Structure formats: C-alpha cells, structure tokens
C-alpha cells in the first residue's frame, strides 16, 4: 500500500521493501495472534497439566514402584521398581474382573434406557403435547441439580426396608420387594442414575431439536407424516450427533460408577467393597493401603475408558460414512 | 544385628529423655528454640510425654490411672474410631506422614498387615523376660512372627458358648459338648417353633469363621516355610464349612449379619438360644440387653473331638510401639503397665461392663473380683475362661491383609445366605481375591487350593 504512494523511479527495490513490510506486518499479526492464542489457551493447558497429566504421571509412576520387603515381608522396606507386577495382580484379581463385568452389565442396562428415555422425553416436550413446557422441563431437570451423594442418600432411604414408605406401601398391597437383594441391587443403582441424569440429557436433546429448521418439519407434515412419524423418522435422525455425544458421555460416566454403589454398600451386603472398578481402586488405596495396586487399577480403568470411547467414535463414524456413501 | 540396633536405640532414647521432654513442653507453649521457657518447664522436667491411640472403651480411665501414679512419663490419650470405622486408616495415614502415636492399639487379625507395612516396631528386645513370663504363651505366639515380637497382647479371647439357660430348661435341652450334639440340639430348638433357632450364622463374621476353623485345626496362612502359604479351603475348613452349610440348608440356624437391628431383635426376643463368641462378649451382652439379666450362662464351646479339646480365639487386642515413636522405652513401660498391672485392669473394668480376659493370667483374680456376677446368675465366668484359654491351639497366623480378605469372605457369606453359592465357595473366593493383594505387596507366596 505504501509502495503506490512512492513514485516510480526505483523500480525493483520498493516492491521488495513493500513485500518485506507486508511480511513483517503479517508476521507481527501472526505473532500477536499466536500470543493471544497462547494467553487464551494457557489456562487450559495449565489445568490439563495440573489436574490430568501430573496425576496420570504420578499414577503410572506409583504403579511401577512398590515398597517391598523380601520373603515374608517383616524386614525393612525399600522402594523398588517392580515393572508390571501390579498390573498383573490387578488383571488376575477375580474381584477386579467381576467389577468390570458388573459395570459392563450396568452399561448394557443403563445406557440404552438413558439415551432412549431422555430422547423420548425431549421429543415429547418438542412436539408440544406437554402443557406448561418450561415447568415440565424444570421439574425433569431438577434432580440433576441434586448432588450425587444426596441423591443416593434419598434413594437409600426409599430402598431400605423398615424405614422406606415405598416398601411399606408395597407391603400393604401384599407385594414384597427387596430393593437391595441379590438380583435387585444393579437395577436399583440404574434407577438412581436415571433419576439423576435423565433431565440433563433431555435438555441437551431438546436444545438440539430446537435447532432443526422449521421448513424440514413443515415439509414432513406436508408429506403426510403424523407427529410420531415426524419424531421418529425426521427429528431423531437429525439430532444423531447429539445422541452420539450423550451416549459417549453416559458411557464414560458409567464406567466410573462409584457414588451410588459406595453408599448402597453401607446398607446392603450384596454391594461388595469391590463392586465396580472405581470401588476396587478406592478399596485398594484406602482399605488395603496398597497404593501401587490402586494406581495400576486406575491406569487400567483409564485405558479401558479411552479404548471403549475410541471404539464407539470409530464405529459411529464408520456407520455415518457408510450411510453417506449409500446415499 | 537387631540386638545391637536396639541397644543403640535404648541409649539414644535414654539420652533423649530429658531433652525431648523439655522440647515438647516448650513447643506446647509455642515458644520453641530459646531457653526462656526453662522456668516454666521446670515442673515437667525429665517427664517424657508419649501419645497413645485406642478405640478400646475404658482407655481414658486406664491412662488417667497411669498418669496419676507415674511422674516420669505422661501419656496423651486420643480416643480414635474402631479399626473398621476408620481407626486403622487413620493409623496407616499417620504412619505414612511420619506422625503415628507412640503406642497404637491393633487387633490380632490386623497385626501382620501393620508389621509388613512397617507401621509397628520390632520390640523383641524391649519386651523383658518378666513381662513375657506373665503373658499366656498362646497370646504372645499371636504377636510374634518369624521369631520377632511386634506387639504385646492385652487380652485373650477363647471362644465360648453363651446360652439361654431358662429356655434350655423350659424345652428340656442339654448343653451340647460336641458339634454333633450341637446339631441335634439345633433340630430340637427348631421343633419348638415360634421362629426359634439355636444360633445365627453371622454373614459378617469372618472372625467367627476363623475361630471355628482355628478350633478344627485349619491353617489359612502359614509362614513356617519362608513364604506366605495361603490355604483357606483346607480340610478342617471344608469340614467346618460343610457342617454350617448343612445347618443353613436344613434351616436350623438363622443366617444374617450380627451387626444389624435384626440380630438385636433375635437376641432380645429370645429367637436364638446360643451365641458363639469370645469372652469379651459377656460384657457387651450385659450392656446391650440388661433386661435379660439372669437368663444367660456360659459353657465351653462344643468340640469336634472331646478327647482332644481345642479352641480358637475370637477377638482381642494388642498394643504396639510404632516406628515413629521417639520414646520406645517409655512407650514399652506404659504398655507393660497397661497389660499387667492390677490397677490398669481395675480402671478398665471400672469404666463399665467389660469381661475382657487378660493375657497376663496373674490378673485373672483381679478380673474375677471386679466382675459383677449377677447377670450370669452368680456363675464364675472368669474361672471358665481360665480353663478354656488353655485349650487355645497355637500356630494360627492371620493374613497380611485380613480386613480385605474378610470383606470378600463376608460378601460371599451374604450371597450364600441369599441362596447364591456356599460357605465353601465363599472361602475359595476369599483366597482367590487375597492372592493378587499379597503378590502386589511383593511377598513370597504359595497357595494350596483344594
């Protein structure tokens, strides 16, 4: 720009100078942009390092070392590198593996119920069937505002025979239910989790449904689709990305199942101290004071979580692209 | 090597006594380092302060009695929660942080774990011959591993049979002396109806199961060959598990947790006619059910073979000096007084109704005199405990992570009570869930799975 104001005579130099100036300007702009990006992203990376990478590194470190004494263990301790010994112990521990099995079963029951339930509620709200929509929304969302531990306490009260009004009312109707029995603890835990999180995920779906262009819905109505058909065949596919996201978060949350069984453990011997992998980790660290075992189990749980999330992402992507090509 | 080490620590402790006494007095005033506090500390000069943690009832009374009669040692007592309710975690964490109390209370089953974790100190050289001679050998055997002593037993708890004499009379039953007779009486009790059973198989009773198996000659953990050999389903254990499984299957016993309101109701309403437990429980029963005064008596536990009587221990506590203690000699003096001085036992029994049977057998007459016999209809229960304590078999070893092992076992007992699995499969589960723990601790292990 400045080059044009200067006269013609020096033909070759000015463009180069102009170039240099422009490049310098670009460079400084880029530098400023980089600096801004750096400033804005520093808190994120700082937190990432502080609350994720450092603890992760510590866990990996802890899992590879142990305070050992040879033989019977009565001698003096010394910290030694033990390699993958703690990992081998965790992976050969039937109580850990049964915890994994429990959580897998929990996921199979919980995730479909959660996703379908919250989607159905969101579609109901969106369809306009429900009167006083905002009140209904608030009512459904409210349980999510209750902290998990309080929710578990409330449900523990409702489940415990002798003090629960629900059990008493059912007993009056000649129905005996033991919510904390051998086969009922897992459904009871699923129920607490559903109650807590259904409203939250419903709000996510509802927001996604609001973003659907009205023309599309009008077109479907014009084509003769009823409200149910519109909801199932038009709306639901359009919020597929939200469904995947909710399913993913629910999965990650479910794999770390802890609060509800931890509290029910106080009331029912059917919820063991090593009910889920997270409870196993807690027990290893704070009841068995075996920190390298707890660290190894934590790392294994993290790896499993990452692997499952990755597999789900890959699978949904492949399904999506398969659909694209089919179209 | 250990002898030399301890002699050095003796010297160190002796030289440190006056100094640290003054220091702790100073830091108590918040004016450390400078010598200005010398005027204030002159009263406590030469007095060593040691700290003591316990969950045992009556400990405050014992400490008060000790402080009142000792000028050179002062004990600071802190009541902590019972082991399972966080007391042991508190001790572990304090030891990790390097500020464990000088003296800690540890029950027999948890002692090996604290030894392995290096929380407690090897006190072989500190336990004098005089104290050793006072203690029942079987109890000291429980606190000695691989030839080294790690804590001093307070009480010995032979398992006995508490029974409702009035109901036994009413139904014309004889007190069983063998387990076969016990099963016969169980059938007779069930025939009396009204939901009565001879006893409860406690689904939360790892220690009870251990005592029953101990009596039958089981050896869940064996360290005689330089490695932890785990064998929680050995032949005697299988016998015991099968016996109780049959009683459960034939609906001859209740099967539920004893730490529950249901159990309190079962005892309170006379739905169970016997309780199997250590001597200490006689006092606990007096506290829990004062209205049943005069109805209970205590008899020896039934035997497998009357010709060769044996017993296991159910409950009991020990006192250990921690590795963090800066005054192990003073700590040891307090421990020795606490377990063997008549005043200590009197103070403990004065706190309420306790029926602890002292490991220092010389104190039995004190306990016998101090114990109010009216609840048991004048029965000399200390005389019975004395006779039973001699039957306790030695050689039993608790595992390195007994609390965790017990949890697995009890979870499986509860499932067995609900009809899923058996007592024997619970024992196998407990063993399978224990092995990875021991391996992760770096211990040499072998296992015997039968």
The complex scores an ipTM of 0.82
According to DSSP, residue B390 is labeled T
List CB contacts (< 8 A) between B418 and chain A.
181-182, 270
Is-contact A87 A64, C-beta < 8 A? no
Is-contact B310 B217, C-beta < 8 A? yes
Q: What six digits make up the tokens of A301?
A: 């749980």
At residue B327, the pLDDT reads 95
At residue B116, the pLDDT reads 93
Mean pLDDT, residues B69-91 taken together: 92
Pairwise CB contact (< 8 Å): A88 & B439 = yes
How far is Cα of residue B444 from the mean position of the Cα atoms in its chain? 26
Give SS3 for B197: strand
Nearest by CB: A71 against B227, B410, B419: B227
Burial of B192 (0-12, 13-18, 19+ CB in 10 A): middle
* Least confident stretch, A11-25, A144-158, B64-78, B99-113: A11-25
At residue B227, the pLDDT reads 93
What is the tens place of the pLDDT at every residue in B121-168? 999 999 999 999 999 999 999 999 989 999 999 999 999 999 999 999
Most confident of A162-166, B40-44, B336-340, B363-367: B336-340
What is the tens place of the pLDDT at every residue in B356-388? 899 999 999 998 888 888 999 999 999 999 999
Which residue in chain B has the smallest CA separation from A290? B441
At residue A132, the pLDDT reads 79
* Least confident stretch, A133-147, B28-42, B424-438: B28-42
What is the tens place of the pLDDT at every residue in B198-230? 999 999 999 999 999 999 999 999 999 989 999
Instruction: Flag whether B31 is in a domain.
Output: yes
Mean pLDDT, residues A109-132 taken together: 90
Best residue in A63, A73, A75 to probe B by mutation, most B CBs within 10 Å?
A73
At residue A160, the pLDDT reads 86
At residue B93, the pLDDT reads 92
Distance from CA of B75 to the nearest CA of A (A): 28
Give the per-residue SS3 of B335-351.
Answer: HHHHHHCHHHHHHHHHC
B166 and B256 share one domain? yes
Nearest by CB: A272 against B145, B228, B411: B411
At residue A148, the pLDDT reads 83
At residue B235, the pLDDT reads 96
Checking if the pLDDT of B234 tops 60, the result is yes
Give SS3 for B135: strand
Instruction: Flag whether B417 is in a domain.
Output: yes
Pairwise CB contact (< 8 Å): A67 & B118 = yes
**Banded pLDDT at A15 (limits 50, 70, 90):** low
At residue A294, the pLDDT reads 95
At residue B335, the pLDDT reads 96
C-alpha neighbours within 13 Å on the C-beta side of residue B365: 1
Which residue in chain A has the smallest CA separation from B438? A89
Is-contact B156 B389, C-beta < 8 A? yes
Nearest by CB: B146 against A66, A74, A96: A74
Checking if the pLDDT of B60 tops 70, the result is yes
Distance from CA of A259 to the nearest CA of B (A): 18
Instruction: Flag whether B363 is in a domain.
Output: no
B249-262 b/e with 16+ CB inside 10 Å = b? eeebbbbbbbeeee
Is B25 or B272 the better-scoring residue by pLDDT? B272
Q: What is the CA radius of gyration of chain B?
A: 23
* Least confident stretch, A69-78, A246-255, A289-298, B154-163: A69-78
Instruction: Flag whether B286 is in a domain.
Output: yes
Nearest by CB: A94 against B223, B226, B432: B432
B16 and B42 share one domain? yes
Pairwise CB contact (< 8 Å): A72 & B228 = yes
List CB contacts (< 8 A) between B257 and chain A.
269
B5 inside 8 A of chain A by CB: no
Which residue in chain B has the smallest CA separation from A80? B442
Tokens 């964490």 identify what position? B93
| Mean pLDDT over each residue of chain A, to the nearest integer | 88
Pairwise CB contact (< 8 Å): A72 & B257 = no
B444 inside 8 A of chain A by CB: yes
**Rounded to 10 degrees, what is the CA torsion of B348, B352, B353, B357?**
0
Checking if the pLDDT of B181 tops 80, the result is yes
Which residue in chain B has the smallest CA separation from A295? B440
Pairwise CB contact (< 8 Å): B89 & A286 = yes
B117 inside 8 A of chain A by CB: yes
Checking if the pLDDT of B321 tops 80, the result is yes
Q: Measured between alpha carbons, how far is B23 from B17 in angstroms, rounded to an integer?
A: 10
B182 and B53 share one domain? no
Nearest by CB: B442 against A82, A92, A182: A82
Is-contact B109 B402, C-beta < 8 A? yes
Instruction: Flag whether B364 is in a domain.
Output: no
List CB contacts (< 8 A) between B413 and chain A.
269
Q: What six digits make up the tokens of B285?
A: 């029963």
Phi, psi (deg, nearest 5) at residue B446: -135, 160
Nearest by CB: A72 against B226, B403, B435: B226
**Banded pLDDT at B45 (limits 50, 70, 90):** low
B92 inside 8 A of chain A by CB: yes
Nearest by CB: A95 against B117, B261, B408: B408
CATH assignment at residue B99: 3.40.190.10
B440 inside 8 A of chain A by CB: yes
B124 and B165 share one domain? no
Distance from CA of B442 to the nearest CA of A (A): 6
B224 and B277 share one domain? yes
Report in angstroms the alpha-carbon separations of B305 from B199, B215, B293, B310, B312.
Answer: 21, 10, 33, 8, 14
Distance from CA of A207 to the nearest CA of B (A): 45
B284 and B336 share one domain? no
In sequence order, what are the residues at sequence separation of 6 or more whose Cβ sits closer than 8 angstroms to the Cβ of residue B329?
A: B10, B13, B14, B126
Instruction: Kindly list the residues of chain A whose beta carbon comes within 8 Å of any beta carbon in chain B.
Output: 66-74, 76-77, 80, 82, 85-86, 88-90, 92-96, 162, 181-182, 269-270, 272-274, 283, 286-290, 292-293, 296
At residue B314, the pLDDT reads 95
Checking if the pLDDT of A230 tops 50, the result is yes
**Banded pLDDT at B9 (limits 50, 70, 90):** very low
B179 and B328 share one domain? no
B182 inside 8 A of chain A by CB: no
Which structural domain, as residue segments, surrounds residue B276?
Answer: 160-314+393-447
Residues 200-259 of B with CB under 8 A from A: 203-204, 223, 226-228, 257
Nearest by CB: B444 against A66, A71, A94: A71
At residue A2, the pLDDT reads 42
Pairwise CB contact (< 8 Å): A269 & B407 = no
Residues 31-70 of B with CB under 8 A from A: none
Checking if the pLDDT of A13 tops 70, the result is no
Q: pLDDT above 70 covers what percent of chain B?
A: 89
At residue B352, the pLDDT reads 67
B285 and B164 share one domain? yes
At residue A28, the pLDDT reads 85
Checking if the pLDDT of A37 tops 60, the result is yes
Nearest by CB: A182 against B403, B418, B429: B418
The candidate with the shortest Cα–Cα distance to B404, out of B92, B142, B80, B151, is: B92
Pairwise CB contact (< 8 Å): B441 & A92 = no
Checking if the pLDDT of A31 tops 90, the result is no
| Mean pLDDT over each residue of chain B, to the nearest integer | 88
B177 and B140 share one domain? no
Report in angstroms the alpha-carbon separations of B56 from A136, B106, B155, B345, B349.
Answer: 55, 10, 12, 13, 12
Checking if the pLDDT of A10 tops 80, the result is no
B92 and B198 share one domain? no
Instruction: Flag whether B321 is in a domain.
Output: yes
Pairwise CB contact (< 8 Å): B115 & A288 = no
Most confident of A33-42, B18-27, B74-83, B441-450: B74-83
Instruction: Flag whether B379 is in a domain.
Output: no
How far is Cα of residue B222 from the mean position of the Cα atoms in its chain? 19
Instruction: Flag whether B374 is in a domain.
Output: no
Pairwise CB contact (< 8 Å): B261 & A162 = yes
At residue A14, the pLDDT reads 58
Best residue in A68, A70, A71, A74 to probe B by mutation, most B CBs within 10 Å?
A74
Checking if the pLDDT of A178 tops 90, the result is no
Pairwise CB contact (< 8 Å): B436 & A90 = yes
A-B contacts (CB, under 8 Å): 115
| Domain total in chain B | 2
Is-contact B79 B105, C-beta < 8 A? no
Pairwise CB contact (< 8 Å): B415 & A288 = no
Pairwise CB contact (< 8 Å): B116 & A74 = yes
Pairwise CB contact (< 8 Å): B443 & A290 = no
Report in angstroms the alpha-carbon separations of A144 from A124, A139, A195, A256.
Answer: 19, 10, 8, 18
What is the tens place of the pLDDT at every residue in B386-435? 999 999 998 899 999 999 999 999 999 999 998 899 999 999 999 999 99
In sequence order, what are the residues at sequence separation of 6 or more whose Cβ sits closer than 8 angstroms to the Cβ of residue A50?
A: none
Phi, psi (deg, nearest 5) at residue A38: -60, -45
B139 and B270 share one domain? no
B272 and B327 share one domain? no
**Banded pLDDT at B353 (limits 50, 70, 90):** low
Is B17 or B83 the better-scoring residue by pLDDT? B83
């Amino acid at each position: 720009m400045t080059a044009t104001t200067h006269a013609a005579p020096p033909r070759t130099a000015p463009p180069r100078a102009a170039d240099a100036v422009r490049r310098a300007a670009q460079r400084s702009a880029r530098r400023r942009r980089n600096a801004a990006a750096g400033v804005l992203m520093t808190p994120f990376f700082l937190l990432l390092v502080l609350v994720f990478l450092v603890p992760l590194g510590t866990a990996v470190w802890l899992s590879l070392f142990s305070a050992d004494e040879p033989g019977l263990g009565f001698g003096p301790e010394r910290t030694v590198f033990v390699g993958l010994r703690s990992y081998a112990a965790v992976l050969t521990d039937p109580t850990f593996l049964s915890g994994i099995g429990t959580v897998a079963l929990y996921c199979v029951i919980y995730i479909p119920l959660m996703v379908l339930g919250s989607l159905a509620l969101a579609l109901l709200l969106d369809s306009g069937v429900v009167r006083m929509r905002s009140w209904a929304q608030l009512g459904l969302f409210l349980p999510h505002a209750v902290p998990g531990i309080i929710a578990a306490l409330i449900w523990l009260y409702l489940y415990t025979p002798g003090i629960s009004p629900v059990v008493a009312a059912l007993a009056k109707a000649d129905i005996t239910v033991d919510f904390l029995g051998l086969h009922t603890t897992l459904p009871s835990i699923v129920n607490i989790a559903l109650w807590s999180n259904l409203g939250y995920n419903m709000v996510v779906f509802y927001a996604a449904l609001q973003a659907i262009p009205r023309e599309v819905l009008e077109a479907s109505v014009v084509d003769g689709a009823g409200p149910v058909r519109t909801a199932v065949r038009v709306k639901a596919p359009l919020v597929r990305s939200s469904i995947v996201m909710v399913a993913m978060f629910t999965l990650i949350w479910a794999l770390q199942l802890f609060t509800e069984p931890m509290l029910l453990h106080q009331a029912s011997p059917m919820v063991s101290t090593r009910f889920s992998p997270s409870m196993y980790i807690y027990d290893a660290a704070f009841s068995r004071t075996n920190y390298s075992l707890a660290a190894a189990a934590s790392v294994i749980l993290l790896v499993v979580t990452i692997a499952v999330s990755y597999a789900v992402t890959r699978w949904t992507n492949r399904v999506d692209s398969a659909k694209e090509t089919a179209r | 090597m250990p002898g030399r080490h301890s002699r050095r620590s003796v010297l160190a402790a002796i030289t440190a006594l006056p100094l640290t006494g003054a220091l702790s007095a100073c830091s108590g005033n918040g004016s450390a380092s400078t010598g200005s506090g010398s005027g204030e500390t002159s009263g406590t000069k030469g007095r060593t302060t040691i700290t003591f943690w316990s969950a045992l009832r009556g400990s405050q009374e014992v400490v008060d009695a000790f402080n009142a009669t000792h000028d050179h040692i002062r004990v600071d007592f802190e009541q902590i929660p019972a082991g399972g309710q966080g007391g042991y975690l508190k001790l572990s964490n304090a030891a990790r942080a390097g500020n464990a109390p000088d003296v800690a209370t540890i029950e027999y089953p948890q002692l090996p774990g604290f030894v392995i974790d290096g929380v407690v100190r090897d006190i072989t050289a500190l336990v004098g011959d005089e104290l050793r001679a006072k203690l029942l050998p079987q109890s000291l055997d429980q606190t000695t591993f691989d030839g080294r002593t790690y804590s001093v037993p307070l009480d010995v708890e032979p398992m006995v049979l508490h029974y409702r004499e009035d109901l036994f009379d009413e139904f014309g039953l004889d007190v069983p002396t063998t387990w076969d007779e016990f099963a016969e009486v169980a059938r007779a009790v069930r025939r009396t109806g009204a939901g009565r059973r001879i006893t409860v198989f406690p689904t939360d009773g790892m220690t009870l199961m251990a005592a029953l198996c101990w009596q039958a000659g089981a050896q869940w953990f064996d360290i005689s060959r330089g490695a932890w050999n785990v064998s929680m389903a050995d032949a005697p254990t299988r016998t015991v598990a099968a016996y109780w499984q049959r009683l459960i299957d034939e609906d001859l016993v209740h099967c539920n947790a004893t730490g529950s309101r249901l159990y309190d109701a079962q005892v309170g309403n006379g739905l169970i006619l016997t309780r199997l437990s250590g001597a200490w429980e006689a006092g606990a029963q007096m506290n829990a059910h004062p209205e049943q005064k005069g109805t209970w008596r205590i008899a020896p536990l039934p035997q497998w073979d009357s010709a060769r009587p044996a017993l296991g221990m159910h409950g009991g506590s020990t006192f250990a000096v921690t590795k963090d203690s800066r005054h192990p000699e003073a700590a040891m003096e307090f421990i020795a007084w606490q377990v063997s001085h008549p005043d200590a036992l009197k103070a403990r029994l004065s706190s309420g109704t306790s029926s602890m049977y002292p490991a220092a057998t010389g104190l039995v007459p004190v306990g016998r005199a101090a114990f109010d016999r009216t609840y048991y209809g004048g029965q000399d229960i200390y005389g019975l405990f004395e006779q039973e304590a001699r039957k306790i078999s030695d050689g039993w070893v608790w595992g390195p992570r007994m609390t965790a092992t017990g949890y697995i076992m009890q979870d499986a007992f509860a499932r067995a009570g609900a009809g899923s699995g058996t007592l024997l499969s619970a024992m196998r589960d407990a063993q399978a869930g224990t092995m990875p723990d021991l391996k992760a601790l770096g211990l040499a292990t072998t296992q015997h799975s039968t």
